[in-house]
Amino acid sequence: MTLLAGVSVLLFIVWLGLFRSTIFVCLAFLLFTFAWRTISSLYIDLSGPVFSSQFQMFLGPGVMTVFQSIAYFLTLLPFLWVFNSRALHEWARSAPTPGLPATQSQLTLSDVTFYASILFLILLFGALIQGGVIPLFAKIERWTFNEQANFLHRLVIERGDMLCFWWGTMFVAERLRRQRYDYRFVSLLAVLIFYMFLVGGRFSPFYRSCAFFVIPFSAVLLVQARDIGSASLFSLMPRIADRRIVLAGVGGIALTAAMIAFALYWNLTRVRGYEGQAALDTFIERVLVQPSEIGWASYQRVLVNGDWDARHAFDFLFERPIVAGRNTTPQFLMSETIGEPRTTEHVTGGFQFAGGFPEIFFELFGPDFGWIFLLGAGWLTALLSALMIRSIVAERYLTAALSFYVLYGIYVMYIGGMLNFVATPTYWVKIAALFAAIIMEERAQRSGRPILPWVLTDRPLRFRRSAV
Amino acid sequence: MELLHSVLARLQDAKVLLDDALKKRKTDFTPARPDGIATGPAFVESPGTSVEMMLNVDTRIALLAYLERTARMTGPQDGSSPVVEGPREINLVQRAILAGLGILFFVSLLTFFLRRPARLG
């Protein structure tokens, strides 16, 4: 049963990749995590008991994968409904008519993004060099560096995902408008990834940056599938892939994979000081046990033993967590599993365990009602994703950016189980701003004066005017 | 809060100890817990972590001071630990219904906007 459930999720993800490419790319960030956690829970359930050094106890065997797989299906099913072929065809009709490449005289939105990004990256590397400490060479952990980093580095940590999404959007806009790939944005991404490598990134920053850059590409797939009536990868490949983009893609993936492998090796052996078999064991535990260990303990507690206290969970998550300014879900799950003193020590030291979704839904809403809220959250995510992709196709960039901003909170929920983001007033300001943007951009586009137009200025025209 | 205070105080003591040791160029000191038990073997077991801990006493003090301020602002005002007390009286059913209605309202609004033609005019 466990094996069947886990393999079903993995096969479903492969099926999405082959036959529902638009959804697959749009969900790139989440699907990778879902696949990874499914493999991890399969490992604990099937090969348990396995030792967890963080819990100081043995985990597994069990049936966690079954519950987790159903939760993942409930999350993904609304996407099939929202991204149905009729809706996709309707959205694709709003794509801009492809034209000629921008003339030298035009200054486009992507040009401004590129120049501003170049300036930002120069300042970022300048600040890193001027700071005198490069974590990769100084052999220090990334969070240690983050604590004492400059303003620009903190901006990358806090808003880097948004930046990568915007670069991806501009990359896609150029493709939809001019039928060409704008390699300037691929280069920007490569430079940022190299920066992450220097400041001690191991895997997560690379994965996040690449995933958020790729997500807008879903709009290209959607438009390309318009005339052929199929969104399968096989029929789309000849339309989207030329020799240069394939080479750039393969090269980029190979280079990033090499960087990740080196970063992991360097971190485990040189920064943390593990040697030989100990380094390998730590790596295996990080990859196969830690992503699902906190979830496994929670499933045992709530779904197997029926031991849950919604009042206590609510109180901890929203009213009285250990540290209020952060994701309170791991704090709660850690506290329930390893006890409050150890949790406080870890959390105040800036460290917390991985995981949190979907187990927090069962801790909060119980073994029965948790499923309903999971489906509701999945529905919301699917609609917000659809709004984001449709806005990119229809060149409503402000709506697309704000949709991503609102969606980002939900992404964090799917990765780390965070729920307290909905209790912050700023999140509701973002939601209000999104709906305001939807209405304003719709009106502005109707009147022919888009809020974020593609062509910002036409220089010769401006010069002529000033001459007159 | 009490734990935060104690960790902060221990870190500040450790900083003074480290500063003294560095000034005297003394490198063979053994770190000890407040109860006097030496924690030396930790250096051998996990040298990377220990060196990292030593190097960042300053930043950890700053972080803890920040956490203390945050906890003071957001935590319970009566000085008690946020975890050991029993949960407050909250109408959970009402909150769950509100959350469900909120999701439904949000879903309806998004569906409404998605059903409108993508490019008008």
ipTM of the complex: 0.85
Per the domain annotation, does B97 fall within a domain? Answer: no
Query: Residue B93: pLDDT band by 50, 70, 90 thresholds?
Result: confident
Q: Strand runs (DSSP E) across A57-154, as ranges?
A: 57-59, 106-108
Residue-level pLDDT at B90: 72
Per the domain annotation, does B43 fall within a domain? Answer: yes
Q: How far apart are CA A95 and CA A192, in angstroms?
A: 30
Residue-level pLDDT at A102: 64
Nearest CB partner across the interface for A383, out of B100, B107, B121:
B107
Q: Which residues of B touch A445 (CB under 8 A)?
A: 119-121
Per the domain annotation, does B100 fall within a domain? Answer: no
Question: Taking the C-alpha atoms of A322, A327, A333 and A336 in order, what is their torsion angle to the nearest 10 degrees?
Answer: 10
Query: Residue B59: pLDDT band by 50, 70, 90 thresholds?
Result: low
Residue-level pLDDT at A69: 96
Local structure of residue B86 (DSSP, 8 states):
P
Per the domain annotation, does B102 fall within a domain? Answer: no
Average pLDDT, chain A: 90
Q: Which residues of B touch A348 (CB under 8 A)?
A: 3-4, 7, 64, 67
For range B84-104, the mean pLDDT? 80
Q: How far apart are CA A450 and CA A394, in angstroms?
A: 11
Tell me, rounded to whole angstroms, the distance of Cα A446 from its chain centroid. 32
Number of structural domains in chain B = 1
Which pLDDT tens digit goes with each residue over A299-311? Answer: 999 988 888 899 9
Question: Taking the C-alpha atoms of A320, A323, A327 and A330 in order, what is their torsion angle to the nearest 10 degrees?
Answer: -80
Domain, as residue range, for B50: 2-90
Which pLDDT tens digit goes with each residue over A387-421? Answer: 999 999 999 999 999 999 999 999 999 999 999 99
Cβ-defined contact of B52 to A387 (cutoff 8 Å): no
A-interface mutation test, from B7, B114, B115, B116, most A Cβ less than 10 A away: B114
Per the domain annotation, does B112 fall within a domain? Answer: no
Alpha helix stretches (DSSP H) within chain B: 2-23, 41-45, 47-55, 57-74, 92-115
Per the domain annotation, does B107 fall within a domain? Answer: no
Structure tokens at A182: 């704008």
Per the domain annotation, does B28 fall within a domain? Answer: yes
Residue of B nearest to A315 (CA): B87
Query: Residue A23: pLDDT band by 50, 70, 90 thresholds?
Result: very high
Per the domain annotation, does B49 fall within a domain? Answer: yes
Lowest mean pLDDT among A213-217, A312-316, B30-34: B30-34
Q: How far apart are CA A354 and CA B55, in angstroms?
A: 26
Lowest mean pLDDT among A180-194, A274-288, A420-434, B53-67: B53-67
Q: How far apart are CA A25 and CA A215, in angstroms?
A: 6
With a CB-CB cutoff of 8 Å, which residues 35-74 of chain B face chain A?
46-49, 52, 55-56, 59-60, 62-64, 67, 70-71, 74
Nearest CB partner across the interface for A344, out of B3, B59, B70:
B3
